Structure 1
């Protein structure tokens, strides 16, 4: 009885990459090879295992039930191999290798871009692939690390709270002159509100008498903070927005703070890391760097 051929490490890595990115084309781009090479590796792996691991369709590639189970073990194995390689690397020099990162656009441009630039300068052997998007699918996107704001969905990801963001409620003076200035949270129910689609339509406001919750009427919903700010400036309605994004327009008088005696619920900023990536030295280095340099409210 002949022995089963050994599994090629490149085939295993390509399979993991296809599952994480959702397509052979994306996996090829991420690994820097042609799509035909990725397809050949997947076919070879399936032949060795004697099982179909992936379902190929025009809209993307997804794992079969067997493929999903195999991926969970394979991803862990690939991560352990990377840890072993890094253990040798640390003995002879610096941490190295690629890191794929997702960060929300607003806080990413303002706070994280300078930090990541400094981190890249300090670690010249680490290659950072940075995507600015508000709510990435960490596993499907093949991210080693992601930053997300607000309430986190239940998941198996490792999370670490970095800081919190002060939120203010604002509107244009023209809108408030026409519709009136709220003096109590319940007055918000009579106004048009532009809502972040990543948050709920129930706002929590903190005043001298404690917390008050009010459900607002949604005039416009968007997942983009810059659109929220544009809507406030245009007089579409009242908006809850991170203070750092609104402060210059508040100072210039283009928008003004609504209900200044109340504080809007602060938004937590979190790191999310797949369990298989958290022990990899370059990922840990970036986690620790961001935690150490972004530990106060922004």
Structure 2
């Protein structure tokens, strides 16, 4: 359809919906005389009177009514087609390399990527998991998901959500050793700690509070590991009490495989960030990934703003 024909359809729709030449002129930013000339040209081209008009009356003729109703459908289809073409032209595509901590990557990010890839089949996605803090942009990653404030210079940082650390243990351990009644009681229990990679620093300062008072308990662990997954397994098997991210253990707490220790207290709050090198910030695939990941994470029920 020629541009002038499409324009005529839109013109006639505006004219009929305005209800008069004067009103149409105002809505189209023209003059009544120009609107009258446009209508006359259209009627001459079609060879039919489209509008019955005089000083007191303005209404579409029978032919004009049919033309108007069909014009509405044709213009709507054109607009829909153009919208779909524009969306397809800007659809995210290409490769997307995502880095994440092992446990969050496996249990939260991997399921999201499955759903995201079905929605965006033009994107080829790779998920790299590693112990927290080991990923960096020399690994050719487009987005790194990181717990705690990142320190990469020149990066674009987006806070996605927050979680908290909680004390937890298996029912078998608590049945065998008893339930701590206060933070200081942890010193008499078998506790399990993480060790920071590379430096082998023991993460044994457990911050525990009830909103009013906060204790920092220095744990002497019976077992420690650099792996959050191994620590999780040890807690499940009854080896002791762990200090875990709620997002890692919420399902075990819900199904009774683990029990909150000191349930009225919580540990430190940990933020989850997405880190991007500046050069990737405007990529459509990166923006689509983060735009859809944020509500997904927050709607899981254990991350919170």
**TM-score, structure 2 as length reference:** 0.60
Q: 2:119 maps to what in 1?
A: 122
CA contact (8 A) 1:196 1:222 kept: yes
What is the CA distance between 1:121 and its match in structure 2?
2.2
- Give the whole-Å Cα distance in 2 for the aligned partners of 1:252 and 1:118: 25
Residue deviations 1:134-168 (CA, integer Å, cap 9, x gap): 3342212110001122x235221322111122432
Q: 1:164 maps to what in 2?
A: 162
- Give the whole-Å Cα distance in 2 for the aligned partners of 1:97 and 1:124: 10
CA RMSD after TM alignment: 2.7
Residue deviations 1:105-132 (CA, integer Å, cap 9, x gap): 3223333223222322222222111123
Q: 1:100 maps to what in 2?
A: 97
Within 5 Å, give how 1:2-17 maps onto structure 2: none
Of 145, 148, 161 in structure 1, the residue corresponding to residue 146 of structure 2 is 148
| 1:283 and 2:280 are equivalent in the alignment | no
Distance 1:251 1:289, change over 3 A: closer
Q: Across the two proteins, how many residue pairs are aligned to each other?
A: 209
- Give the whole-Å Cα distance in 1 for the aligned partners of 2:206 and 2:249: 18
SS in 1 for 2:208: strand
**TM-score, structure 1 as length reference:** 0.61
Distance 1:111 1:202, change over 3 A: same
CA contact (8 A) 1:192 1:236 kept: yes
Distance 1:237 1:292, change over 3 A: closer
- Give the whole-Å Cα distance in 1 for the aligned partners of 2:256 and 2:274: 35
SS in 1 for 2:114: helix
Q: 1:294 maps to what in 2?
A: 297
What is the CA distance between 1:103 and its match in structure 2?
2.0
Question: Structure 1: which 5+ runs fail to align?
Answer: 1-88
Question: Structure 2: which 5+ runs fail to align?
Answer: 1-85, 197-201
Q: 1:201 maps to what in 2?
A: 204
Q: 2:187 maps to what in 1?
A: 189
CA contact (8 A) 2:169 2:260 kept: yes
Larger Rg: 2
